Amino acid sequence: MKCLLAVEEGVVEFLKHQLEKSGLYGGWEFVCCSAWEEVEERRNVPVDVVVLSRFLPGAKPEEALKKTAAFFAGSHIVLLAGEENERQKQYIKIANDMGLYNIVTGRLPGERPYTIFTALKNQKMIDPDGRIIIEPIFEEIEEEARDEHRIPAAVSLEASSLKDEHNKNEEEERSKKVKRAVSEILGNDQGEISTEEIKDRLQEIITMLDREGSRKAVEVEGRRRSRGVLVCTAANKGGAGKTTVAITLAVALSRAGIPTLLADFDLGGPDIASFFGIKDVPGMEHLVGKPVRPNFIRDIIIQKGDLHILPGPMNRTIPNFSRSQFAELIETLKQMYPVVVGDTPAEFWTKPWLFDLFSRADRVLAVVDQSVFSEEDTRRYAPYLLSMGVTPERISIVLNRFSPKLKNVKKIEKSFSAGFKKDVKQLPKTVAVIPEDWDRHALGGYKGEVNLEDGQWHRLAGEIAEMAGYSYEAQAEENGRALGFLGKILKRSTTHRL
């Protein structure tokens, strides 16, 4: 377990010492940050628990609160609100409105029953009657926490604030320029964002990635695999967001310069071609009955910007692949590309051709719709994946329609992992989330507001790139290129074949 302590200097080291001394957190690693800029530097580093003090210097408390909830959406967040006063009450209200109730009040270790010792392993919730409910997240801990050590009260930093990179006028002008550029690309001269479904969905994904800045990938000498990395998305029911996950990851990797193939393995209901506006071309059905050769595959691969796409069947029939031919197709694709991202149908365990796909996958992204989360359905998820030849260490969780106000992330992970045997050491973790409101999320990108999931998606892409033998590095965005990839996709009037 890794815990990030974002607490002011003079308190953070003492807090770390007391937590380690308590003996309640064996095997935990505590990482200290005594200023907000240190937290931002670690935004792409996965942690299990984040402790944020209201008095952390370098940012206004409310701003640090909102950004922490965004950067570490999949982590258990504990807030240190300090002693009661009007500022503390306002801070707690903002946190509660965001769905964050894990708040330690008073001088450390905090007011009972929710002291810092309890908070690190337990979630605090408020029931409809206003009663406080405390539930364990990781494992049970002793009700009586060791609180004999009093920690000095933090010093209020009322005069401290995060400096703006641009003044208000510059921000408004930049927002107008971006909107005009998007409208021009989408062919709308009224200054408004087009509402056409495909273009909207593409814009949302590209905006999300662009807010974090582009990435470049460098092939690491001696680490390139002889066979590419296969990543599959999976969902136990339709509408969970697996296609969005596949496209987002594939776009991030391709934009970084990693040769990436996005393949539509949903043979019964392919969706990727329509997503990118691909039509009147042959799809995967073109390969049935032919020898599996790279030249035949290249005949049907479409290039959109930097991304290569293998469409599913375009004639609305399910191709009658033999099992051996489908397995050979997968192996050939892995030889042709460093990374293959495959989208699969819902209820994947009912499709016989998918066993050869999942059993060969290096990573499976199991998408869970948080808004319709069911413990019973989620518990059945893992056994279905195991039945398809997927081992637990190759599974990661992606939450769709994420909101801090809904079911706790750790509870979802616990339900998901309930289907594994108790001796499994490496259980699946949440690696990325898709926000509850995509439209608001995209609009926030235009306005320069905090973007929720950028860092997580680039971190996930970085992990996949490393598996393929590439170094996924940050690259400063050049002026005027924020919409470059979208422009490449939407401005092309012809389909490019390889």
pLDDT of 309 > 80? The answer is yes
Same domain? 355 vs 435: yes
pLDDT of 258 > 70? The answer is yes
pLDDT tens-digit map of 470-486: 987 643 343 333 333 33
Higher pLDDT, 475 or 333: 333
Q: What is the pLDDT of residue 209?
A: 55
Give me the phi and psi of 4, to 5 degrees please: -95, 120
Torsion of CA 382, 383, 386, 387, to 10 degrees: -140
Neighbouring-strand partners of residue 134: 124
Least confident of 68-77, 272-281, 359-368: 68-77
Instruction: Tell whether 263 is covered by a domain.
Output: yes
Q: What is the mean pLDDT of residues 342-371?
A: 89
pTM: 0.63
The answer to whether the beta carbons of residues 436 and 425 sit under 8 Å apart is: no
- 318 vs 391: CA distance, rounded Å: 28
Least confident of 91-95, 321-325, 353-357, 431-435: 431-435
Same domain? 128 vs 201: no
| 454-467 helix and 242-255 helix, angle to the nearest 10 degrees | 70
Among 96, 119, 136, where does a domain finish? 136
CATH of the domain at 105: 3.40.50.2300
Among 90, 121, 136, where does a domain finish? 136
- 204 vs 243: CA distance, rounded Å: 14
- 82 vs 486: CA distance, rounded Å: 46
pLDDT tens-digit map of 9-39: 999 999 999 999 999 999 999 999 999 999 9
- 72 vs 49: CA distance, rounded Å: 9
DSSP single-letter state for residue 399:
E
Same domain? 131 vs 208: no
Higher pLDDT, 68 or 380: 68
Domains in the chain: how many in total? 2
pLDDT tens-digit map of 229-244: 999 999 887 777 888 8
Same domain? 391 vs 320: yes
pLDDT of 329 > 90? The answer is yes
Same domain? 356 vs 430: yes
Q: What is the pLDDT of residue 185?
A: 35
Same domain? 205 vs 131: no
Count of alpha carbons within 13 angstroms of residue 328, beta-carbon side: 14
Among the listed residues 409, 399, 451, 459, the one whose alpha carbon sits nearest the alpha carbon of residue 70? 451
The answer to whether the beta carbons of residues 210 and 181 sit under 8 Å apart is: no
- 54 vs 91: CA distance, rounded Å: 8
Mean pLDDT across the chain: 76
CB under 8 Å to 456, separation ≥6 — which residues?
Answer: 44, 73, 74, 431, 432, 433
Among the listed residues 301, 204, 296, 283, the one whose alpha carbon sits nearest the alpha carbon of residue 243? 204
pLDDT of 456 > 70? The answer is yes
CATH of the domain at 222: 3.40.50.300
pLDDT category of residue 167 using cuts at 50, 70 and 90: very low
Here the tokens at position 330 are: 């997968």
Handedness of CA 209, 373, 246, 244 (dihedral sign): negative
Q: What is the pLDDT of residue 431?
A: 85
Q: Render the burial of 292-331: b for 16+ CB within 10 Å, e for the rest.
A: beeeebeebbbebbbbbbbbbbbeeeebebeeebbbbbbb
Among the listed residues 423, 349, 369, the one whose alpha carbon sits nearest the alpha carbon of residue 392? 423
Alpha helices in 123-258 (DSSP H): 168-185, 197-212, 242-255
Q: What is the pLDDT of residue 395?
A: 93
Cis preceding linkage at 392, omega within 30: no
Q: What is the pLDDT of residue 5?
A: 97
User: Can you give the three-state secondary structure of 305-357, one letter per residue?
Assistant: CCEEEECCCCCCCCCCCCHHHHHHHHHHHHHHCCEEEEECCCCHHHCHHHHHH
Share of the chain above pLDDT 70, in %: 69
pLDDT of 54 > 90? The answer is yes
pLDDT of 220 > 80? The answer is no
Here the tokens at position 125 are: 């919730």
Q: What is the pLDDT of residue 37?
A: 94
Q: What is the pLDDT of residue 328?
A: 92
Higher pLDDT, 172 or 387: 387
Neighbouring-strand partners of residue 126: 132
- 359 vs 265: CA distance, rounded Å: 14
Q: What is the pLDDT of residue 373?
A: 62
Same domain? 371 vs 451: yes
pLDDT category of residue 406 using cuts at 50, 70 and 90: low
Here the tokens at position 466 are: 């490393």
pLDDT of 490 > 90? The answer is no
Instruction: Tell whether 144 is covered by a domain.
Output: no
Q: What is the mean pLDDT of residues 118-140?
A: 77
Same domain? 393 vs 308: yes
Q: What is the pLDDT of residue 361?
A: 95
Here the tokens at position 342 are: 């495959």
Q: C-alpha distances in angstroms, 335 versus 114, 245, 255, 330?
A: 54, 23, 21, 9
Q: What is the pLDDT of residue 89?
A: 93
Give me the phi and psi of 81, to 5 degrees please: -95, -15
Collapsing DSSP to helix, strand or coil, 4 comes out as strand
Among 103, 136, 169, where does a domain finish? 136
Q: What is the pLDDT of residue 312?
A: 92
Instruction: Tell whether 493 is covered by a domain.
Output: yes
Q: Determine the length of the chain.
A: 498
Same domain? 305 vs 423: yes
Instruction: Tell whether 304 is covered by a domain.
Output: yes
Instruction: Tell whether 176 is covered by a domain.
Output: no
Instruction: Tell whether 214 is covered by a domain.
Output: yes
The answer to whether the beta carbons of residues 281 and 302 sit under 8 Å apart is: yes
The answer to whether the beta carbons of residues 207 and 452 sit under 8 Å apart is: no
Instruction: Tell whether 156 is covered by a domain.
Output: no
Q: What is the pLDDT of residue 337?
A: 95
pLDDT of 217 > 80? The answer is no
pLDDT of 276 > 70? The answer is yes
Q: What is the mean pLDDT of residues 195-201?
A: 53
Instruction: Tell whether 63 is covered by a domain.
Output: yes
Here the tokens at position 316 are: 């609305």
Boundaries of domain holding 8: 2-136
User: Can you give the three-state secondary structure of 33-88, one letter per residue?
Assistant: ECCHHHHHHCCCCCCCEEEEECCCCCCCHHHHHHHHHHHCCCCEEEEEEECCCHHH
Q: What is the pLDDT of residue 215?
A: 60
Pairing outcome for strands 103-105 and 76-82: parallel
Share of the chain above pLDDT 90, in %: 34
- 22 vs 71: CA distance, rounded Å: 29
Highest mean pLDDT: which range of 19-28, 63-72, 159-168, 405-414: 19-28
